[in-house]
Amino acid sequence: MNHWYARVFEPLSRGPVVKLVEFIRTKGVLKRYVQCVSCNQDMVKRPYTRNRDGLAFRCLTTSCINYKKYFSIRNESLLSNLNVSLSSILKACFKWLNNLHKYKKDLRLMWVMIVQ
């Protein structure tokens, strides 16, 4: 587990936010594509300095009511109500999973027993 932490998490947490967001999106926590509520067109991911994530979705359909408005990349995801940095969330998940693995190993329990 610590090998994963050093090889995967450290570069993600210290590197650009774009790579961290892409990693979380590939794991299915954040949506890869979001459609505009008004025009149902796919929005584009753009840099955004007014939130912790540094990225936001933006509608670029000129005839849309929401043209050039920004929407959080966390909308419609498990993280939508959390006001914590993505690296902190990933670190908490890593520590939680590491503890589960440790307890499973120490107590010789099956994974199903731990989750229940």
- Per-residue confidence (pLDDT) for residue 110, from 0 to 100: 52
- Per-residue confidence (pLDDT) for residue 73, from 0 to 100: 92
- Per-residue confidence (pLDDT) for residue 5, from 0 to 100: 67
Residue 53 sits in which domain range?
Answer: 2-115
Helix (H, G, I), strand (E, B) or coil at 94: helix
Round to whole Å and give the CA distance between 115 and 48: 38
Can you list the residues of the chain whose pLDDT is less than 50? 113-114
Q: Which amino acid is at 32?
A: R
- Per-residue confidence (pLDDT) for residue 82, from 0 to 100: 85
- Per-residue confidence (pLDDT) for residue 65, from 0 to 100: 95
- Per-residue confidence (pLDDT) for residue 102, from 0 to 100: 65
DSSP H helical segments within 7-85, as ranges?
10-14, 17-26
Report the alpha-carbon angle 83-57-31, nearest 5.
75
Query: What tokens does 114 get?
Result: 């731990």
Cα dist from 1 to 4, 44, 61, 67, 98, whole Å: 5, 35, 45, 45, 7
Q: How many structural domains does the chain have?
A: 1
Instruction: Note whether 96 and 83 are within 8 A (CB).
Output: no
Round to whole Å and give the CA distance between 90 and 4: 12
